[in-house]
Amino acid sequence: MTIEFSLSNRQRDTLAMVHQFAESVVRPQSLQWDRDHGVPHDFLRQIAMMAQSMGGGLVMGPGRSSGDEKEPSADEKKRRQPALSTVLGAEAMAWGDAGLLLCLPGAGLGGPPVRASGTPEQKKRFLSVFDDMSGELRWGAYALTEPGAGSDVAGIRTSCRKDGRHWVLNGRKCFITNGARASWNVVFATVDPALGRAGHRAFVVEKGTPGFSVGKIEDKMGLRASETAELVLEDCRVPEDNLLGGEDGYRTKEGFMTAMKTFDTTRPMVAAMALGIGRAAYEHAVAFVKEHYMLARSVPRYAAIAERLARVGRQLEGARMTTWRAAWLADQGQRNAKEASMCKAMAGGAAIRACIEAIEICGAEGSIAGDGRLLEKWFRDIKVYDIFEGTGQIQRIVIAKRLLPDLKSF
C-alpha cells in the first residue's frame, strides 16, 4: 500500500484560493444569509461561474463514486474533479459558510446517482443542463427520505407502477435539499414494498412533470441559508426514459444500490463539510483562549483548557485523515463504503464536540458578542451533520456490517 500525504501543487493552489475567498467574501456574509434564509442569486451565479472557470465544481463538484461505477465518458471525465480535491474544497468553503455550500447551483446530491446508474444518454441529458451557469441558475436534488423512512432506506413507500410509456408515482418525500428549486430530483420509489430493496426504482423527475408539486419549506434550526423542501407526487407521470439505468438495470437490487453508491461519494464530502465547521469553531476557541486566558487566568485552569483544545484538535485531524482516505480510495477506483461511513461518523462526532467545547470554553461572553455570533451559528449548523446522509448510529451499523458480514442480526 502506498501512503501519500502530500497534495499536488494544483490542489494546494486551489485550496489557498478557496480559503482566501471563504475568509474575505463568504464568512462576512454568513450571518446575514442565516437571517435571510438564503443566499442572493446574483452571488450564487458569481460563484458558479468562478467554479466553472476553475474547471469543474469547486466544492459540490461531482467527485467520483467508488469502484463499481461504469466507465465514464470522455465528456463526463472532463466535468469531474478528483474526490480528494472535492473534499478539500468542501472543508475550506464550509469553514466560511456551510449553508452556502448546500445552495450552490449544480447537480448537487442528484449528480452521483445519475453518474452511477444512468445510461450514457441519461447522463448527457440530465448533467449537461448544468454546463452553462451564465443564465438561469439550475440545481439537481436527491429525494430518498420519506415520513417514516429516513434511516430505514429500504422502507420507502412512495409507489411506482408502469402505465404504457410512463411510470406513475405516488407518495411524499421530506427534507429534500434544493428539492423545490431543482430542475430535476432523483426520486426513489418502490414497485412493491414487500419486495424490499429489490423493489426500488430511481427516477429523474423533472420540474413541471404533471403530478409533481412542492409542499412545505422547512424552518430549520441550522443551515438556514439552505432550502429544505417537502415534495408531493400525486399520480405523477414520469416518462419511461427517466427511469435511471432503464428497466434492465433492475433485475437485482439495483435501485437500492443506486442509493447506496451515492452515499459512498457524498459521505466523505459531508464529512469534510462538518470538519470545516468544526475547524472554524476550534480556531475561534484557540484565538479566544490566547487572547483572554493566557495572561489573566490561573495556570491550572489554562492547562485544563489547553488539554480540552488539544483533544478537539486531534479528533478533527484524525477525522480529516480518514476523510481524505475515503476520497482517495474513490479516486483510485476502489470500494470505499466502509471508509465513507467511518469518516462520516468520525467527522460528525468530532465537529459537534469541537462546537460544544468552543461554546463552553468561550462562555457567554465569547459566544454571543461580535464574532461569537458565528460560534452560536456553527453550534446550530453542526448537529445535522450527524443526521443527514445517515445518522451516526447508522454509520456505525454500516461499519459493523462490513467488519462482521456474517452477523445477520442488525
Contacts to ligand FAD by CB under 6 A: 109, 141-145, 150-151, 175-177, 220, 223, 228, 384, 387-388, 390-391, 393-394, 397
Taking each helix axis from N to C end, the angle separating 254-292 and 299-331, rounded to the nearest 10 degrees, works out to 150
- Burial label, 307 (beta-carbon count in 10 A; 0-12, 13-18, 19+): exposed
- Nearest CA to 255 out of 161, 191, 211, 212 is that of 191
The Cα 206–Cα 172 span in angstroms is 16
CB of 141 to ligand FAD, least distance (A): 6
What dihedral do alpha carbons 49, 55, 56, 57 form, nearest 10°? -60
- Minimum CB–partner distance for residue 7 and ligand FAD (Å): 29
Share of the chain residues as helix, strand and coil, in percent rounded to the nearest 5? 60, 15, 30
According to DSSP, the residues that pair with 163 across neighbouring strands are 166
Residue 4 CB: number of other CB atoms within 10 A?
A: 7
Judged by CB, which is closer to ligand FAD: 339, or 386? 386
- To the nearest whole angstrom, how small is the minimum distance from the Cβ of residue 142 to ligand FAD? 5
Query: What is the phi/psi pair of residue 55, to 5°?
Result: 90, 40
Looking at the Cβ atoms of 142 and 288, the one nearer to ligand FAD is: 142
Least distance in angstroms from the C-beta of 400 to ligand FAD: 10
With contact defined as beta carbons under 8 Å apart, do 354 and 316 qualify?
Answer: yes
Separation between Cα atoms, residue 198 and residue 211, nearest integer Å: 25
CB of 184 to ligand FAD, least distance (A): 13
Rank residues 145 and 190 by Cβ distance to ligand FAD and give the closer one.
145
Give the separation between CA 6 and CA 164, rounded to whole angstroms.
55
- Nearer CB in complex with ligand FAD: 84/100: 100
Residues 12-33: b if buried by 16+ CB within 10 A, e if exposed: eebbeebbebbeeebbebbbeb
Amino acid at 370: G
Residue nearest to ligand FAD (CB): 150
For the CB of residue 305, give the shortest distance to ligand FAD in the complex, in Å: 31
When the beta carbons of 5 and 410 are compared against ligand FAD, the nearer one is 410
Q: Residue-wise over 116-136: b if at least 16 C-beta within 10 A, else e?
A: bbbbeebbebbbebbeebeee
Tell the residue number behind the cell numbers 484557540, with chain if given: 286
Q: How remote is the C-alpha of 204 from its chain's centroid?
A: 19
Closer to ligand FAD by CB, 175 or 256: give it. 175
Task: Give whole-number Cα distances, 360 to 70, 127, 300, 307, in Å.
Answer: 48, 45, 17, 14
Distance between CA atoms of residues 67 and 76, nearest Å: 16
Query: Which residues are known to be catalytic?
Result: 389
Closest distance of CB 220 from ligand FAD, Å: 6
3-state class of 406 per DSSP? coil
Reduced to 3 states, what is the DSSP secondary structure of residue 201?
strand
Q: Which of 32, 393 has the CB closer to ligand FAD?
A: 393
Query: Residue 14 or 258: which CB sits closer to ligand FAD?
Result: 258
- Nearest approach in angstroms of CB 310 to ligand FAD is 29
